[in-house]
Amino acid sequence: MLVVLAPGQGAQTPGFLRPWLEDSTFATRFAYLSSVADLDLAHYGTEADAETIRDTQVAQPLLVAAGLVAALELFPHPADGFDRVGAVAGHSVGELAAAAGARAITAEQAMVLVRERGRAMAAAAKATPTGMTAVLGGDREEVLAAIAKHGLVPANDNGPGQVVAAGTMEQLATFADDAPARARLRPLSVAGAFHTHHMAPAVDHLGGLAAAVSTHDARIPVISNRDGRVVHEGKEVLRRIVSQIANPVRWDLCMETMLDLGVTGVLEMPPAGTLTGIAKRAMKGVETFALNTPDQLDDARDFVRKHGERSLMTTSPTWRMVVSPAKGTFERDEEAGASEVLSPDATIGSIVSLRDRTPVKALHGGHVVEWLVEDGDLVSPGQPLLRLHPSGAA
């Protein structure tokens, strides 16, 4: 099973788009998304230096546009991707590229949102001097305890041996003087404490814009940064992306879900390397492919053919599907099981695992067409549970 990944801020390097923009089709598509972002992204991806593209307002639109247009090079017909990709995930701002790739939102909507996300996060970062420091190695529990002791937030949990602490510069300085045992600290070149409460003003701004965005159920399972859950309903995908601006990225849980899905290969969109590097350390036995230049496309397509399989999700204009957000045992709600019509937000049951119990809701409600699992069945992330006919549909 194939998972496609979209990298987050910090993955960009000077000139990474130069070979891609030699292709006229790529250049034309990229220019279109640049106009939506109201930025000369071709310049930033070819000529600008590292300090310039570190700017949050530049880096975020640059990364999302690069991933979206490169995906069209890999899958010239989007339906090819739907038939091959088992799930998508993005790290931080990469979630917008993943959501557009899964067709929960359009590419244009993604570019408007990332433009505003970058601006709002840059403005929030200026309010208080904040930053982020990578903590490499050390005992996990000791690292997390030390982060909490100094009032910091584990803003990125990227798996064994890699946690990113975030907070004020004063807190980070104190933390550096009292580092956890056997851990190395590496200050990151970022504008502020992303994925913490310091970004709350950006959440408010983007949330207001997102309320006006029309969404669709994802064509491919989307793995959420918040908790590694598989998300299917478009509004929920977008709501999580907005709230994630001020909440930690749990990439460790995203990788757990990929393994639960039975992933055999992960392909990272350009500029690639960061997420495939993490996968090599944390997901032993899973093949990786870092797509960085167009001369890799033939090999990337071979990789897709080797690992790709059709997603469990399918779409129809006459019914909706409720899917499992996680691995576990499905316990059906008695009232839902006896109902022919479910109201919006009705709970249909829970997914029970050793870790927790996750309620599953029919966000839109509708007439019950078919239960696809029985009470007590073991289910996988993204597995269809219930088919509904929308209320009021012809």
Q: Yes or no: say if 385 and 373 are a contact pair by the CB < 8 Å rule.
A: yes
Nearest to 266 by CA among 98, 380, 115: 98
Q: Yes or no: say if 268 and 254 are a contact pair by the CB < 8 Å rule.
A: no
Q: Yes or no: say if 80 and 72 are a contact pair by the CB < 8 Å rule.
A: no
State how far the Cα of 124 lies from the Cα of 126, in Å rounded to an integer. 5
Of the residues 92, 224, 311, 324, only one is catalytic, namely: 92
State the DSSP code for 228: S
Of the residues 34, 91, 150, 195, only one is catalytic, namely: 195
State how far the Cα of 241 lies from the Cα of 221, in Å rounded to an integer. 15
Name beta bridge partners: 89. Answer: 5
Q: Is the omega angle on the peptide bond into residue 271 within 30 degrees of 0, that is, cis?
A: yes
Q: List helix spans (H) across the chain.
A: 24-37, 41-46, 50-54, 56-74, 78-82, 94-101, 107-127, 140-149, 169-177, 200-210, 234-243, 251-261, 274-282, 297-307, 334-337
Identify whether 92 is a catalytic site residue: yes
Identify whether 339 is a catalytic site residue: no
What is the gyration radius of the CA atoms in the chain, in angstroms?
A: 21
Name beta bridge partners: 135. Answer: 163, 185
Q: Yes or no: say if 26 and 115 are a contact pair by the CB < 8 Å rule.
A: no
Helix (H) or strand (E) holding 2: strand 2-6
The length of the chain, given as a count of residues? 394
Structure tokens at 300: 């990337």
State how far the Cα of 44 lies from the Cα of 50, in Å rounded to an integer. 10
Helix (H) or strand (E) holding 242: helix 234-243
What 3-state DSSP class applies to 335?
A: helix
Report the largest interatomic distance among the alpha carbons of the chain, rounded to a whole angstrom: 66
Annotated active-site positions, please?
A: 92, 195
